[in-house]
Amino acid sequence: MATTFPSITPTGRRFTPPRWPTTEKISQSGVMSRRLWGSRSGNASLELTFNNISDTDTSNILSAYEAAQGPIDELTLPTVLFAGADATLTTYLNTSATGAGLTWHFSGGTPPTVQSVINGRSNVVVTLNAELRMT
């Protein structure tokens, strides 16, 4: 089951592309060796900042978090989350260019945070993770 993230334009994004499963070892002589442990990258993150949004939009984000049961359900991301990025960058932000099989989820360790600005307005920060998951 997938939960749809609310269609709210973020005021800021911080994206970390998927990482390759590797390990590094340095021998006693100082030689570095690296080992690749898989054929696909995973664990991308996307931090979204929503500044000065209405309490209704804030509630919609929190409702999506509850509906998804935190990090459990997959998220369907609306294109408005990538507003301002050109088509090439958007393919990286939505992970279609970097990781077949990656699905977006709320971060398990970082639930959405809400900071009240004035009555009826808040700043919200949401961290999403793109993961390879068994279906």
Can you give the pLDDT at residue 134? Answer: 67
> pLDDT tens for residues 79-130?
899 888 888 888 878 776 666 678 899 998 899 999 999 999 999 999 999 8
For the chain, what is the HEC assignment? CEEECCCCCCCEEEEECCECCEEEEECCCCCEEEEECCCCCECEEEEEEEEEEEHHHHHHHHHHHHHCCCCCCEEECCHHHHCCCCHHHHHHHCCCCCCCCEEEEECCCCCCEEEEEECCEEEEEEEEEEEECCC
pLDDT at 135 over 70: no
Q: Give the predicted TM-score (pTM) of the model.
A: 0.85
> pLDDT tens for residues 31-88?
999 998 887 878 889 999 999 999 999 999 999 999 999 999 999 999 899 888 888 8
**What's the mean pLDDT in 11-34?**
92
